[in-house]
Amino acid sequence: MIDLQRIAALIPGQWERVIATVLLLAAGFVVSQLWARYLGRGDVPAERRRLQLVWARNIIWSVVLFAIASVWASTIAGFALSLAAVAGAMLIVSKELLLCVLGYLYLTFVRPFKIGDVIEIGPVHGRVIDIDMLATTLAEHGDTGLPTGKTAALPNALLLTLPLKNTSSTGDFVLHFLRIPVPVALAGDLARIEAAATEAAVAATKEWQAQAEAHLRQIADESFIELPSGRIRVFWDFADPERLLLCVRLACPEKMRLQVGQDIFKATWQALAAHGPVQRPDPS
């Protein structure tokens, strides 16, 4: 009697619903058993008998669960309202925290980058050194591509809102775009400047050029995407009216991008200086 009183104290005013729930569950069990026995006595094929048994059982228990939900409707509605209010308050208070967790899930399943990759997200550029549930930490790189000695911790929520660039997505060899500014005053001898840059790029990349081209072809075949061949290409960017940009596209090891760029820049202008001053356009 003492135990019954304690149980009654836990669910005051709900005994009628508890009894109705027990009776509904018992009725569902009894009807399911009776239907199974009825099917067992007939001459129905086993496959069809199993189909009818599953079909009838699903209907019976769907009706039972609907009846139980109707009995407890008011209680369930009150609980759901309270739960929704609590969930809404937590969402408002911890929106940024939730976005960081969602960003981590995105990173886990999509895997746009991994530890060691060099990425750009928003204004930050650097190598990934740590990833946790709330933030991604980068060793920051400056405009020259060299590490600055600083680290940047980016909330994972930024992965859902800002564009992300992974400059290490092609593995051992990456495509590097070198831009060499050329004053407009020297536009009279563009062919000579272009030839010097091409020769410098060939000399700087001859050790791995064939290997890089084969690597990029393999990546393209495995990923079913079209990648540039990796061959050296030189072209001009004349969007800025005050200067020209000589653009050199080449393939090189990811960690040697800065060194290769410096070598090509110096070799280009040294070759031009060795052959005399670059011709200036005739003002007339």
Residue 161 lies in a domain: yes
- Residues 198, 230, single domain; the answer is yes
- Residues 181, 228, single domain; the answer is yes
> pTM for this structure?
0.55
pLDDT band for position 4 (cuts 50, 70, 90): very low
Task: Determine the Cα–Cα distance for residues 36 and 166; give it in Å rounded to an integer.
Answer: 61
- Residues 25, 85, single domain; the answer is yes
The DSSP code for 224 is: T
CA dihedral 176, 180, 181, 187 (to 10 degrees): -120
Residue 281 lies in a domain: no
Q: What is residue 10's predicted lDDT score, i.e. its pLDDT?
A: 47
- Residues 69, 114, single domain; the answer is no
Cβ atoms 121, 174 nearer than 8 A:
no
Closest of 71, 69, 32, 67 to residue 52, by C-alpha: 32
104-154: per-residue pLDDT in tens?
A: 888 888 888 888 888 999 888 888 888 888 888 898 987 667 788 899 999
167-217: per-residue pLDDT in tens?
A: 887 778 888 888 888 877 777 788 888 888 999 999 998 888 888 888 888
Helix (H) / strand (E) containing 268: helix 257-274
| Lookup: tokens for 220 | 């393209």
Domain encompassing residue 224: 173-274
- Residues 225, 261, single domain; the answer is yes
* Number of domains present in the structure of the chain: 3
Cβ atoms 218, 281 nearer than 8 A:
no
Predicted confidence (pLDDT) at residue 54 exceeds the cutoff of 70:
no
- Residues 226, 150, single domain; the answer is no
Residue 280 lies in a domain: no
Task: Determine the Cα–Cα distance for residues 224 and 158; give it in Å rounded to an integer.
Answer: 28
| Lookup: tokens for 139 | 């060793």
Task: Determine the Cα–Cα distance for residues 52 and 72; give it in Å rounded to an integer.
Answer: 30
Q: Read off the CATH number of the domain in which 112 is found.
A: 2.30.30.60
Cβ atoms 197, 178 nearer than 8 A:
no
Predicted confidence (pLDDT) at residue 67 exceeds the cutoff of 60:
yes
